[in-house]
């Protein structure tokens, strides 16, 4: 499949930014700013082409394991993670997971240990006790930008903040940051350039430096990435752990039974893995609220499919996948959300996705309920098909599937 893979990562960094904003109150666009700053600095050193794209990928995904880490260390309690003093050992965990998660990403240059060491301090006081000479340049750049962005915590990157930032950098030279990256930053950023970091067009500036480039990626590579993103989405809320991957498998399976070719089934898998990516933009207080949602909360919750649409719209070459993913709460009679599409606007694959999502949600185990039996779930699906919410033929196929 031909896509612009950095576009896909950039879409995901939006999702990660939402989690990070909730966790450590870093302002949104954090991932993009870190990526943009990193790229500007590296270009000053003559880094270009594949190496620059690989740096951008690492910077966009530097905290790809954040939700996994919160889930495992804090039993998914984001507020607890934010309140706790996080020890260097704990900090190191998301670096280990993060490096491992990207093992199969199609990097073109050697970026070993870049994610692993993105929290190492120049003087060796970081999670793995490495001093700056033992840490790859890209890891040092990302660490620098990550810390600087967290320090600035500002929407505006004006002269006042610039001066404060320079003071922060100088104070930490040879302690947290080595002289080389410090010099690179001062070389790449004056106060005008710095002010662009707060600009709403930051994404465009990023794309000016990393032009969109479509390449062919095999389904296996995309599947690995989609699995990683599904993991990030599902880790966000224990309520839905493994839901995305379940929908991916179910959707691909139904399509196969209905006679679709392999490429189409692969697309269904990808779309299934990504269908709830928009949930990452919804606060956990809504996703995990035990009581009934208020109208306002329910309206916010409904937005998740709209966010999925928005996030996947950013990926050049992903239009079909986006529609397969984002229309999963639409109903044939037009009463679904967020677009209120009707039967004639929903093709069979989009209808399969809607059925797969419902079937998966009913049959999977959640902390507050056991998974429903195949038979019982089919009863509910038939009832929905009778109301003209979902497709009857697809419902029949599901009901004939083995338990």
List interacting residues with Fe ion (CB under 5 A): 63, 146, 276, 357
CA distances from residue 395 to 106, 311, 321 in whole angstroms, order as listed? 38, 29, 22
**Residue 115: CB minimum distance to Fe ion, A:** 9
We find the least distance from the C-beta atom of residue 276 to Fe ion, in angstroms, to be: 4
Residue 363: closest CA among 383, 384, 385, 378: 378
Report the residue number, 267 or 279, with the smaller CB distance to Fe ion: 279
Closer to Fe ion by CB, 4 or 30: give it. 30
Of the two residues 4 and 362, which places its CB atom closer to Fe ion in the complex?
A: 362
Nearest distance from residue 304's CB to Fe ion, in Å?
A: 6
Distance of closest approach, residue 148 Cβ to Fe ion, in angstroms: 11
**Cα–Cα distance, 274 to 248 (Å, whole number):** 8
Instruction: Pick the closer one to Fe ion by CB: 4 or 246.
Output: 246
Residue 46 C-beta: closest distance to Fe ion, Å: 26
Nearer to Fe ion, 90 or 217 (CB): 90
| DSSP type of residue 215 | E
Give the separation between CA 113 and CA 159, rounded to whole angstroms.
35
Toward Fe ion, which CB reaches closer, 7 or 127? 127
Between helices 295-313 and 319-326, what is the axis angle to 10°? 160
Alpha carbon distance 130, 121 (integer Å): 7
d(CA 86, CA 80): 10
Q: What is the CA radius of gyration of the chain?
A: 22
| Distance of closest approach, residue 215 Cβ to Fe ion, in angstroms | 27
Which three-class secondary structure state does DSSP give residue 2? Answer: strand
**What is the rounded CA–CA span in Å between residue 227 and residue 369?**
25
Give the separation between CA 350 and CA 268, rounded to whole angstroms: 9
Q: Tell me the closest approach of the beta carbon of residue 49 to Fe ion, in angstroms.
A: 25
Separation of alpha carbons 403 and 400, rounded Å: 9
Helix or strand holding residue 110 (H, E): none
Strands 215-216 and 2-3: antiparallel
Q: How far is the CB of 142 from Fe ion (least distance, A)?
A: 8
Q: Which is nearer to Fe ion, 146 or 234 (CB)?
A: 146
Please give the Cα distance from 38 to 141 (Å, whole number): 6
Tell me whether residue 317 or residue 371 sits nearer to Fe ion (CB atom). Answer: 371
Bridge-partner residues for 215, per DSSP?
Answer: 3
């Amino acid at each position: 499949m031909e896509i612009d893979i950095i576009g896909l990562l950039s879409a995901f960094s939006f999702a990660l930014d939402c989690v990070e904003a909730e966790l450590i109150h870093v302002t949104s666009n954090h991932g993009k700013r870190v990526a943009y700053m990193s790229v500007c600095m590296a270009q000053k050193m003559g880094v270009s082409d594949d190496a620059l794209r690989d740096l951008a990928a690492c910077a966009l995904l530097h905290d790809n394991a954040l939700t996994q880490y919160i889930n495992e260390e804090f039993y998914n309690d984001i507020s607890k993670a934010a309140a706790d003093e996080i020890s260097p050992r704990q900090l190191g965990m998301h670096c280990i997971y993060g490096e491992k998660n990207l093992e199969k990403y199609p990097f073109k240059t050697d970026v070993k240990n870049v994610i692993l060491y993105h929290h190492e301090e120049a003087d060796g006081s970081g999670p793995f006790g490495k001093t700056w000479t033992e840490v790859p340049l890209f890891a040092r750049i990302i660490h620098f930008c990550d810390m600087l962005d967290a320090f600035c915590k500002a929407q505006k990157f004006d002269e006042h903040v610039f001066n404060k930032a320079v003071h922060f950098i100088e104070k930490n030279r040879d302690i947290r940051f080595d002289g080389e990256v410090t010099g690179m930053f001062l070389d790449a950023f004056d106060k005008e350039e710095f002010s662009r970091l707060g600009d709403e067009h930051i994404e465009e500036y990023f794309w000016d430096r990393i032009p969109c480039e479509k390449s062919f990626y095999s389904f296996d590579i995309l599947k690995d990435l989609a699995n990683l993103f599904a993991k990030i989405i599902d880790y966000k809320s224990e309520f839905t752990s493994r839901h995305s991957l379940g929908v991916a498998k179910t959707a691909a399976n139904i399509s196969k039974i209905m006679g679709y070719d392999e490429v189409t089934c692969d697309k269904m898998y990808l779309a299934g893995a990504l269908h709830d990516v928009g949930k990452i933009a919804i606060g956990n207080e809504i996703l995990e609220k035990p009581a009934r949602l208020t109208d306002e909360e329910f309206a916010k919750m409904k937005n998740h499919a709209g966010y999925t649409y928005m996030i996947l719209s950013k990926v050049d070459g992903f239009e079909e996948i986006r529609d397969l993913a984002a229309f999963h709460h639409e109903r044939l009679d037009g009463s679904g959300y967020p677009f209120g599409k009707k039967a004639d606007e929903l093709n069979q694959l989009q209808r399969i996705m809607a059925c797969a999502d419902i079937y998966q949600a009913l049959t999977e185990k959640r902390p507050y309920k056991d998974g429903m039996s195949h038979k019982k779930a089919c009863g509910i699906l038939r009832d929905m098909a009778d109301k003209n919410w979902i497709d009857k033929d697809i419902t029949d196929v599901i009901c004939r599937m083995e338990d």
